[in-house]
Amino acid sequence: KQEVTQIPAALSVPEGENLVLNCSFTDSAIYNLQWFRQDPGKGLTSLLLIQSSQREQTSGRLNASLDKSSGRSTLYIAASQPGDSATYLCAVSRGYSTLTFGKGTMLLVSP
Amino acid sequence: DTEVTQTPKHLVMGMTNKKSLKCEQHMGHRAMYWYKQKAKKPPELMFVYSYEKLSINESVPSRFSPECPNSSLLNLHLHALQPEDSALYLCASRGGNRTNYGYTFGSGTRLTVV
């Protein structure tokens, strides 16, 4: 059974810092990995989708990497802002019906 | 249109009530999902519809009844719920069986059962 672990569970940083969120998964036979952002009480917003054949994806200040063989992904956030405060969820997909989530990293960026 | 729209955003219902949650997407996605999320937990899969047919029911109690009237619409009918069913209900869609599609989630319905 696929298990996804996110470290750290919570992170508090001052504005302007660069930071890294970590995600690991136990079964490397994935089709893709997706990073989501969730604000309190809200839905999930997709940030980046990395296919199993890709090594990284970038969107603005966000960069996600994937090392499928070692079962790891990182989400790098450059020059963090208070508006980045949210919970970040990593999810791996195998097939159209199977999306396994980590428990998330709760990020707080203080002004 | 690249969104999944869920209505209502908030719902309070009594344990004897019948209500429905609605989810709509116009991206031509043929796979649609219902997830349940409790506070500080990741989403848990409830149902999967593929090409308007129920393909997965994750042993969800019968007081939750899904329906997919057409390829753009997904409903979740609620009846005789319990207070522990209070949660954020999320709808998602995906482009189909191709492995390179990601998931698109709606903003959710916050359900409170009293």
CB-nearest to A46 from B41, B48, B104 is: B104
Residue to test with chain B: of A6, A32, A44, most B Cβ within 10 A = A44
Express as a percent the part of chain A with pLDDT over 70: 99
Could you report the per-residue pLDDT of B8-22, keeping only the tens digit for each?
A: 999 999 999 999 999
What percent of chain B has a predicted confidence (pLDDT) above 70?
A: 95
CB contact under 8 A, A43 and B106: yes
Reply yes or no on whether the pLDDT at B99 is more than 90.
Answer: no
Q: Characterize A13-25 residue by residue with b for buried, 16 or more Cβ atoms within 10 angstroms of its Cβ, and e for exposed.
A: beeeeebebebbb
Mean pLDDT, residues A67-96: 95
Distance (Å, whole) CA B13 – CA B30: 31
Q: For residue A43, what pLDDT band results from cuts at 50, 70 and 90?
A: very high
pLDDT of residue A98: 79
Q: Mind telling me how many Å the CA of A111 is from chain B's nearest CA?
A: 24
Residue A25 above 70 pLDDT? yes
User: Does B42 sit within 8 Å of A102, measured CB to CB?
Assistant: yes
In Å, how far from its chain's centre is CA A73?
A: 7
Report the share of chain A in percent with pLDDT over 90.
90
Q: Is the pLDDT of residue B2 over 90?
A: no
Average of per-residue pLDDT values in chain B? 93
Cα(A20)–Cα(A7) distance, integer angstroms? 9
Residue with more model confidence, A84 or B51 = A84
What's the one-letter identity of residue B21?
A: L
Cα separation, A82 vs A68, whole angstroms = 31
Q: Of B50, B57, B107, B112, which to mutate for an interface test with A (greatest number of A Cβ within 10 Å)?
A: B107
DSSP structure string for B1-56: ---EEEE-SEEEE-TT-EEEEEEEE-S---EEEEEEE-TTS--EEEEEEETTEEEE
Confidence of residue B98 (pLDDT cuts 50, 70, 90): low
Tell me the C-alpha distance between B58 and A5, whole Å.
Answer: 22
Task: State pLDDT tens for residues B41-71.
Answer: 999 999 999 999 999 999 999 999 999 999 8
- Res. B96 pLDDT band, cuts 50 70 90: low
Which residue from B76, B48, B73 is spatially nearest to A93, judged by alpha carbons? Answer: B48
| pLDDT for the residue A76 | 98
Pairing between strand B44-50 and B18-25?
unpaired
Find residues 78-107 of chain A whose CB sits inside 8 Å of chain B: 89, 91, 93, 95-97, 99, 101-104
Average pLDDT, stretch A68-93? 97
Residue B33: name the closest of A101, A51, A39 by CA: A101
Look up residue B59 and give its DSSP letter: S
Res. B97 pLDDT band, cuts 50 70 90: low
Lowest mean pLDDT across A63-77, B10-24, B32-46, B95-109:
B95-109
Average predicted confidence (pLDDT) for chain A: 95
Q: Three-state DSSP class for B63?
A: coil
Sign of CA dihedral B78, B82, B86, B92: negative
Respond yes or no on whether the N-terminal peptide bond of residue A40 is cis (omega within 30° of 0): no
Interface test with A, best of B105, B109, B111, B112 (most A CBs within 10 A): B105
Q: Which residue of B has its CA nearest to A101?
A: B42
